[in-house]
Amino acid sequence: MKNKANNTTPAIVDTITNSKKRTRNASQSKPKPEPEEFPIGGDIEDFQFREDEVADIRSSLLKWYDVNRRDLPWRRINEEDATDNDDDDEIDRKAYAVWVSEIMLQQTRVQTVISYFNRWMEKWPTVHHLAQASIEEVNEMWAGLGYYRRARFLLEGAKMVVEEGGKFPRSASDLLKVKGIGEYTAGAIASIAFKEAVPVVDGNVIRVIARLKTISANPKEKATIKNIWRLAGQLVDSHRPGDFNQAVMELGATLCTPSSPNCSSCPVSTQCSALLKSKHDQSALVTDYPTKVEKVKQRLDYSAVTIVEILESEQPKVNKSDWGSKFLLVKRPEEGLLAGLWEFPSVSLDVKADLITRRRAVDDYLKSSFGLKLHRPSDIVSRDEVGEYVHIFTHIRLRMYIELLVLRSQVETDFGYCLRTDLHRKKDKGLVSFKYVDTKTLATMGLSTGVRKAYNMVQKFRQNRSSLVSR
Query: Last residue of a domain, which of 255, 288, 321?
Result: 288
Same domain, 213 and 327: no
Same domain, 267 and 372: no
- Predicted model pTM: 0.79
Same domain, 282 and 314: no
444, exposed or middle or buried, with CB in 10 Å at 0-12, 13-18, 19+? exposed
Helix (H) or strand (E) holding 95: helix 88-105
pLDDT tens digits, one per residue of 109-118:
999 999 999 9
- Band of the pLDDT at 430, cuts 50, 70, 90? low
Query: Last residue of a domain, which of 237, 268, 288?
Result: 288
pLDDT of residue 302 exceeding 80? yes
Q: Is residue 172 part of a domain?
A: yes
Same domain, 231 and 330: no
Same domain, 369 and 251: no
Structural domain range at position 92: 10-20+32-288
Other C-beta atoms closer than 10 Å to the C-beta of 302 total 18
Helix (H) or strand (E) holding 469: helix 449-470
pLDDT at 47: 81
Same domain, 168 and 261: yes
Q: Is residue 4 part of a domain?
A: no
Residue 227, CB half-sphere, CA atoms under 13 Å: how many? 18
Tell me which long-range contacts 73-78 makes (C-beta under 8 A, separation of at least 24): 73/101, 73/114, 73/117, 73/118, 73/121, 74/98, 74/100, 74/101, 74/117, 75/246, 77/121, 78/192, 78/193, 78/242
| Letter string b/e over residues 161-177, b meaning 16 or more CB atoms within 10 A of that residue's CB | bbeeeebbbbbbbbbbe
Using CA atoms of 316, 317, 320, 321 in order, give the dihedral in degrees to the nearest 10.
Answer: -110
SS3 letters across 131-179: HCCCHHHHHHHHCCCCCCHHHHHHHHHHHHHHHCCCCCCCCHHHHCCCC
- Band of the pLDDT at 340, cuts 50, 70, 90? confident
271 DSSP assignment: G
**Secondary structure class of 305 (helix, strand, coil):** strand
pLDDT at 46: 67
Measured in residues, the chain has a length of: 471
pLDDT at 351: 87
The CATH number that applies at residue 343 is: 3.90.79.10
Query: Last residue of a domain, which of 231, 262, 288?
Result: 288
Q: Is residue 2 part of a domain?
A: no
Same domain, 334 and 407: yes
Share of the chain above pLDDT 70, in %: 82
Which DSSP string do the residues of 16-73 spell out, in sequence order? HHHHHHH---TT---PPPPPPP--TT--GGG----HHHHHHHHHHHHHHHHHH----H
Q: 270: closest CA among 227, 216, 211?
A: 211
pLDDT tens digits, one per residue of 20-63:
333 334 334 444 454 444 333 346 666 899 999 999 999 999 99
Q: Is residue 425 part of a domain?
A: yes
pLDDT at 298: 85
Contact 389, 450 (CB under 8 A): yes
How many domains does one find in the chain?
2
- Band of the pLDDT at 256, cuts 50, 70, 90? very high
Q: Which residues are catalytic?
A: 102
pLDDT of residue 387 exceeding 90? yes
pLDDT of residue 301 exceeding 60? yes
pLDDT at 314: 56
Per-residue pLDDT, averaged over 110-133, amounts to 97
pLDDT at 248: 98
